[in-house]
Amino acid sequence: MSANESTHLPMSDSHVVVTGSSSGIGKATAIEMAKQGARKVLIHYRSNIRGAEGTAKEIEGFGASATLCQADLSVSEDRERLVEVAFREMGNIDAWVNNAGVDVLTGEIASLDFEKKLEKLLTVDLVGTISLSRMVVARWRLLGNKPVPPSMTFIGWDQAMKGMEGDAGQMFGPVKAAVMAYASNLAQSVAPNIRVNTVAPGWIKTAWGSETTEYWSERAKSQALMNRWGEPNDVARAVVFLSQKDNQFFTGQTLEVNGGWNRRYHQG
Ligand SMILES: NC(=O)c1ccc[n+]([C@@H]2O[C@H](COP(=O)([O-])OP(=O)(O)OC[C@H]3O[C@@H](n4cnc5c(N)ncnc54)[C@H](OP(=O)(O)O)[C@@H]3O)[C@@H](O)[C@H]2O)c1
């Protein structure tokens, strides 16, 4: 039986957009949405078309339909096109997930200097995400208020405001803190007609986590009370929880997905 044939699942009959769903957390989120009953899922990607096609295949396996859309979020025309395609292809959109973010830790970008990496993160993760969100909100408003308000979820970072030493902390910290601040302010601006929440992942095993050193791997595990890396699916389930139509009383929230931060002294 496909997800859409079952009686009631958390995302039953929903139309969902997940940015950056060609890999990692976005991919897991798009697939989890379909598994939990979403009827239509828009898979956005920038360059990894094979990854996006892989996501589509898995989504279709759950009985949902998949639409692919390429867009570089650092380019304003691309952002406009993504919103255009999304509303044209999906009709109404029940849940929009702003997940896309530049990976500055692996691949060629990793060898750039601090300022260049910071610039990329600011352009894509912050300016691109804010600009995109504002266009989506404007389209939702044009369509008029719905009995069930649509949901927008942002992806932050659990350590953004707590602080982490080193260049990674000094780059991701301010960028993701700003994304989370934007989400909180947007939630205040659009309630009760649109719900806005943030999921703040901890150490999640995606590309960097899979190839990192033993030091960072051990550190990632021991900083979680659950004593393991987070998986993309752990984050995906939290996004589904906040996006689902039944959870109407959740807005302006930040949900950390980090296995519980370990504050114990010298313990695993
Ligand atoms: N992994 C973690 O531990 C962790 C922790 C906290 C927060 N996060 C955040 O969670 C989100 C997903 O991370 P991930 O680890 O799953 O990374 P990932 O596997 O590298 O996925 C990133 C996604 O963003 C897309 N993207 C990158 N640059 C883009 C651009 N200029 N325009 C449009 N899309 C772009 C990628 O598209 P293409 O590959 O198709 O180009 C890909 O689909 C990011 O915002 C990240 O900062 C991750």
How do residues 176-189 score in pLDDT, each as one tens digit? 999 999 999 999 99
Report the C-alpha gap between 164 and 40 in whole angstroms: 38
Q: What structural domains does the chain harbor?
A: 3-257 (3.40.50.720)
* pLDDT of residue 156 exceeding 60: yes
- Alpha-carbon distances of 29 from 94, 104, 192, 207, rounded to whole Å: 15, 21, 25, 16
Nearest atom (ligand 1) to Cα of 172: 47
pLDDT at 267: 55
Q: Assign 12 to helix, strand or coil.
A: coil
- Ligand 1 pocket member 175 (CB < 6 A): no
CA 243 to chain centre: 11
Query: In this predicted model, what pLDDT tens digit does every residue of 122-143 receive, in sequence order?
Result: 999 999 999 999 999 999 999 9
CA atoms within 13 A on the CB side of 39: 13
Q: Assign 158 to helix, strand or coil.
A: coil
Nearest atom (ligand 1) to Cα of 100: 24
To test the ligand 1 pocket, which listed residue (17, 23, 77, 132) has its Cβ within 8 A of the most ligand atoms?
A: 23
- Ligand 1 pocket member 67 (CB < 6 A): no
- Ligand 1 pocket member 203 (CB < 6 A): yes
* pLDDT of residue 251 exceeding 80: yes
Of 136, 133, 179, 175, the closest CA to residue 155 belongs to 179
The answer to whether 172 and 200 are in contact (CB under 8 A) is no
